[in-house]
Structure 1
Amino acid sequence: MRILLLSLIFTTVVNAQTNYSVSSIDGPLKENANAVVRLDETIVEITAKNKMQVTNHRVITILKKAGENSIKPYAFYSPNTKITNILALVYNDQGEEIEKIKKKDFYDISAVDGGTLYGDSRVKVFRYTPTSYPYTVDFTYTYTTPNTAFLPRWMPIDDYMVSVEKSSFNMKIIESLQWRKKEKNFKDYDIINNSSKSVISYEMNQIPAQKKEALSPSFYYYEPQLMIALNEFHLEGVDGYAKDWESMGNWQFKSLLADRDQLPEHTVRLITEKLSGITDREEKIKKIYEYVQNNTRYISVQLGIGGWQPIAAEEVDRVKYGDCKGLTNYTKALLKSQGIESYYSVVHAGKSKLGMEKDFAIMQGNHVILNVPNQENDIWLECTSQKIPFGFLGDFTDDRDVLVIKPSGGEIKHTHKYLNDNNLQKTVGEMVVTDTGGITANLEIETYGIQYDKHAEVLSMSEKDKNDYYTEYWNNINGLSIGETIFDHDKNNIKLTEKITLSAQSYVTKMGNDLLFKPNAFNANKYVPNRYSDRKLSFEIDRGYTDNDEIDIKLPINYKLGKLPSPVIITSEFGNYEMSLEKISENQLRYKRKIQLKSGLYDKSKYDGYRDFRKKIKKYDNTKIVLSKIPQGQPTKHLK
């Protein structure tokens, strides 16, 4: 009887809306929109802490190709999460059905990447290639799962440039279970709340698309979200309890980490011998970290509870591989064997710097790193990389709140920030300008912080890829030819030095007998953000940085300099800029430039000021100098 009832609900949901013609969409919803969500409905029923059913019904009209990312044509499953119904329908712009994609027509593929050794997650995906725009996709599926540690979130607006006709969320929870919720970014929207003690019900209608503006923060920081968590839950055969971060960490330590840090005696002896004579605590931590880097490799394991529980340290020691969980736990165990306490820490990894919800404990995160308390300057270790320097995180896990799991419970800590002057690039070198308009140069580029993180990618490139990388890096120089490249990778100081020789046949512009060239050949900033007559959103300088450039320029001896521009100093709340050209001799200049950009979230009222700052930088970075040809018969002054 229950199966028949669920089937009836599924059929009703699929056929609840019949008019999907594009003409039926209100005009304001089409403005600034790549896609319009006609209906986004989530129905959740939790009948026990280990029993949940979810139906997702999503109808979306794709107005143009850029909107196709919002289709979300997939449904994940695993041995414990089973898809019971799935169907996709496609309609043309008149709302007429043109294709039906049944369960047998879905592609069934692994949901884990090539670096995963073990993984049981899979995904059903449908593919539709449109012959014209607009068109509409109606996608419905139902799944059942015993896993209630992660409950569906209500996120009624997809992204910038997507409008919404209707979005609803309904969750029924058996009365014996306690639950918590958090409403985030609700204040700017008209949201209908029909919730009761055991039913959570929200609805949102007629939301126009928000146009994306230059430097807009991630949509995640604006979008309304409803988060729900059970105090008692289930995860892949393991029961859990959490009402705050302390209890969440306590459960994870006892249920997922305890007794998984045992090591063979011979390994403990080996590490003890390697640290013999070392008295400095930080040096011991570094040696153990380097041991892990040199003796293990990263392979993901996503099998059942193994998706959340680390492989035992003893097993990692035996096979010499592990995923982020296993390698972090292994490093933790090695440190513990030497009397050094450290903590397994769960993080949202990725360049968008998402952090844990500090005031709402919920299963979160997609990666694990290690926290080593070190007075006021904690050490953070990325244990999956064989190349990353000791104590360096990079833009994958820096500057965000993470869950640090201690035996006593969980604690939210913030990872290291790389701010402004920490992200330093120093470029020094010599450039020779030829009388035929070409240049040759020897450069030395030092990078630190996040700038180091970006430049260090070149270390693992092939010769061809290196050449392509530098050609693109200096794409302002036509006909660029890269010569010798030498790298000095100082992992102790987290610094990369690149020594590069290069040449180009026609960098300088000829004007009759004169030459016109830009002294800033190697770090000219061209970016100026778009102009808006009525900006709607705040703007963000995501990562500040500092660049220092000093280039000595040798000029052809049969040319003379015109008047040099005066030094430039610009000071603003967004950063500072300095530029100068100094005449060293008749045929030699010294170009100096410094730019500092300050990270931060700024009010929209300051946008025009920031744009003006960037316009000035572009102007002065584009400074040109005229070299006048000395007539034949006149004496020339040679370089000293």
Structure 2
Amino acid sequence: MKTFITRIIILTLATLSVITSQAADIDIPTIPDSLANGANSVVLSDYTTVNVISLSEATISHYRSVLVFNKKGEKHANFGATIDKYTSIKKLTGTLYDSNGNAIRQIGKKDLTTTELSPYLASDEASCTHSFDHPTYPYTVIYEWETSISGYLITFPSFVPIHYDSQSLLENEYKIHLPTSMKLNYKVRNTVPVISNEEASGWNTYTFRIPKTPAIKDDSYLPNTNEIVPLIHLNPGVFEVSGIRGYSDSWKNIGIWLTKLMEGRDQLLPEDVNSLKALTAQYPTPREKAKAVYELLRNTTRYVNISLGIGGLRPEKASDVKARGFGDCKALSNYMCAMLKALDIPCDYAVISTEHKNVLHDFASLGQFNHAIMRVTLPGDTIWLECTDPTLPFGYIHDGIAGHEALIVDGENSHIVRLPMPKHEIQKREYKYYVEFTTDGCGYSHIEENYSENYFEKNRTLKEITRQETQDNIREKTGLSTALVVDFKYVENLSNQNVCSYIYTIFAPKFCKQSEKRMYIPSNLFKTDISKYTDYQRILPIVITDKHEVYDITIRIPSGYKLESLPSNVEVSSPIGQFTQTATVTDDLIHITQTIKIPSGEYDASLSPQLAELTQAIYDNMNALIVLVK
């Protein structure tokens, strides 16, 4: 389950006045059973106050107190906030209290660890974090801090007092003060808060209080955190940055604002346009021309996470990217669009989230996006391009955006679309191997691993690791700690589907276990990452990422041995997925096939018994033994 929700939610944590006197002891409240049961931590209090000064300026104060019960709840009390050129932490104090409420340690702003966020992100944001790492439980952590936002206020901090499953909520309050001339938009999810509004002296004060909330059970296959925890999104109805005014009442208007923000930034110098036309003249179709331009982008630019323009939203000029040879996701996507437009190839710039598949259709907010890509629209052929990773094939939709919704930025025609997902049947990891043994349990195996589509993306980077790292990786996958890897070869095929293969031979002196008369051979050297599920009383939906695995195994029975025990044929089928196994013997050859098919999807909690049956069958059969006897 994802932790700490989303960047915009982390940015939410902005805050109160600092502790200015010596830390005093605190009273630890008695936690009712309804909040203690199943909890690794309790949010004792979470108070946020937002003071909106103008369309582009606000101060935010925050007070957060978390009681940690055990080691699993350690990270639940950690501090996390996001800063950038517009958002800064003005002051902060954190205090650690023991089980009796006695203060034992205190930190300040200087003790925060600051690191740049993922290079996929669309601005120069950095993460500020802190952890007390206290080994004795229970303990309480209180953070008080204050944040300032200046020059860029297109969204307000969201209110998300619960950050994890197995965390419950006691007291909380979110206040926002803003001029009566400003409209407040908000979206409530997964809770029914108490909401009030007071107007006085030209100011509105909105107050939100979320009811006491029990912990969500720490479980496998959970929905994304922000799909199940209490959450309130907020933003201004009107915003203005550098004189450009926008309206957040619809996604169309957000797209119109972004279009204005980007006006004139997709122009290339005439000589660069002429070079493009000369480069692509040999290609007869728009698709081939677009592919040639994509190769040019890959070969002549590099990704750099820079912050130019407005709040990480306005891309660099295309001509500047051409001259410098680098840019961030916005700059490279805009540059690619500019080159294609110069060739009269229709295309669009788009913004998307690499963290969440769905946008809130009834709550338009730029805070829901953190990345920029582009789309080529040819008759009967739509091509999505990731411009920041030069290793990805043309038109490949990587796992960070596949199936996600994006905002097409096209003025009055701006709208939300969903990127396609690769079909389940072509997303596959496949293992084929042949094993021979000597009578003393030594063995060698010729192995071929094939990965297609999303498995291709996750495994192709292994081609760049060292020989020792390759051997260590294979030892870990097979469980053969003394295996020697020889004849390793990497093959990539991008013609039809995106497939990469690893072909190698291993030798292991202890390939299987032996007794005086018997040899015990694992029916499958490789282990699936599908976890065994045992909860029959599930409440929340079951969310599964695509699993499609095929194993084709041939084992030669060594001379002097005969088969005593062989795994049986198995077929388990349910609305969630299926597992099949066949096992046959021909002369001295054992042949086993195992297939797992579980499509991505969200399934009703009532199907938990079927999930348990399916995962148990997978676990039992993939860990079964073949027994040979002398």
- Fold similarity call, TM over 0.5: yes
Matched, 1:568 2:573: no
- The answer (yes or no) to whether the contact 1:107–1:124 under 8 Å persists in 2 is no
Report SS of the residue matched to 1:266: helix
- The answer (yes or no) to whether the contact 1:118–1:303 under 8 Å persists in 2 is no
Equivalent of 2:296, from 255, 275, 291?
291
Matched, 1:201 2:204: no
In structure 1, the gaps of 5 or more residues are 1-8, 630-640
1:33-72 map, 5 Å: 33-72=39-78
Matched, 1:628 2:629: yes
- The answer (yes or no) to whether the contact 1:452–1:494 under 8 Å persists in 2 is yes
State the 1:64 CA deviation: 2.8
State the 1:325 CA deviation: 0.9
Provide the C-alpha distance between the structure 2 equivalents of 1:157 and 1:564, rounded to a whole number of angstroms.
50
Determine the structure 2 residue equivalent to 1:149.
154
Provide the C-alpha distance between the structure 2 equivalents of 1:77 and 1:581, rounded to a whole number of angstroms.
58
Matched, 1:559 2:561: yes
Report SS of the residue matched to 1:52: strand
State the 1:222 CA deviation: 0.7
Provide the C-alpha distance between the structure 2 equivalents of 1:14 and 1:605, rounded to a whole number of angstroms.
53
CA deviations over 1:343-392 (Å, ceiling 9, x no partner): 11111114xx4432122111121111112224565211111111111111
State the 1:34 CA deviation: 2.2
State the 1:277 CA deviation: 2.8
Which residue identity is paired with 1:468? D
Provide the C-alpha distance between the structure 2 equivalents of 1:177 and 1:474, rounded to a whole number of angstroms.
61
Equivalent of 1:480, from 483, 494, 511?
483
Matched, 1:339 2:344: yes
- The answer (yes or no) to whether the contact 2:482–2:509 under 8 Å persists in 1 is yes
What's the TM-score once normalised by structure 2's chain length?
0.89
Provide the C-alpha distance between the structure 2 equivalents of 1:338 and 1:347, rounded to a whole number of angstroms.
25
Determine the structure 1 residue equivalent to 2:7.
none
Provide the C-alpha distance between the structure 1 equivalents of 2:17 and 2:519, rounded to a whole number of angstroms.
76
Matched, 1:429 2:433: yes
Provide the C-alpha distance between the structure 2 equivalents of 1:548 and 1:78, rounded to a whole number of angstroms.
46
CA deviations over 1:112-154 (Å, ceiling 9, x no partner): 3596999865666555353633332222222332322021111
Which residue identity is paired with 1:184? R
Provide the C-alpha distance between the structure 2 equivalents of 1:22 and 1:89, rounded to a whole number of angstroms.
14
CA RMSD of aligned residues (A): 3.0
Provide the C-alpha distance between the structure 1 equivalents of 2:75 and 2:626, rounded to a whole number of angstroms.
47
Provide the C-alpha distance between the structure 1 equivalents of 2:584 and 2:129, rounded to a whole number of angstroms.
62
CA shift in 2, pair 1:60/1:114, >3 Å: closer
Determine the structure 2 residue equivalent to 1:321.
326
Q: How many residues align?
A: 608
CA shift in 2, pair 1:98/1:406, >3 Å: same
State the 1:413 CA deviation: 0.9
CA shift in 2, pair 1:82/1:248, >3 Å: same
State the 1:282 CA deviation: 2.0
CA shift in 2, pair 1:520/1:184, >3 Å: same
Deviates more, 1:326-335 or 1:523-532: 523-532
What's the TM-score once normalised by structure 1's chain length?
0.87
Matched, 1:411 2:422: no
Equivalent of 1:170, from 146, 167, 175?
175
Which residue identity is paired with 1:132? T
CA deviations over 1:576-603 (Å, ceiling 9, x no partner): 222223333x222333232212222122
1:117-128 map, 5 Å: 128=132
CA shift in 2, pair 1:228/1:511, >3 Å: same
Matched, 1:91 2:97: yes
- The answer (yes or no) to whether the contact 2:43–2:169 under 8 Å persists in 1 is yes
- The answer (yes or no) to whether the contact 1:58–1:140 under 8 Å persists in 2 is yes
Determine the structure 2 residue equivalent to 1:491.
494
Determine the structure 2 residue equivalent to 1:531.
534
Which residue identity is paired with 1:309? R
Determine the structure 2 residue equivalent to 1:465.
469
Provide the C-alpha distance between the structure 2 equivalents of 1:126 and 1:621, rounded to a whole number of angstroms.
42
Provide the C-alpha distance between the structure 1 equivalents of 2:439 and 2:52, rounded to a whole number of angstroms.
79
Provide the C-alpha distance between the structure 1 equivalents of 2:547 and 2:536, rounded to a whole number of angstroms.
29
1:16-35 map, 5 Å: 20-22=26-28, 24-35=30-41
CA radius of gyration, larger in: 1
State the 1:160 CA deviation: 0.8
Equivalent of 1:241, from 231, 242, 247?
247
Report SS of the residue matched to 2:492: strand
CA shift in 2, pair 1:214/1:123, >3 Å: closer
Provide the C-alpha distance between the structure 1 equivalents of 2:118 and 2:614, rounded to a whole number of angstroms.
45
Report SS of the residue matched to 2:298: helix
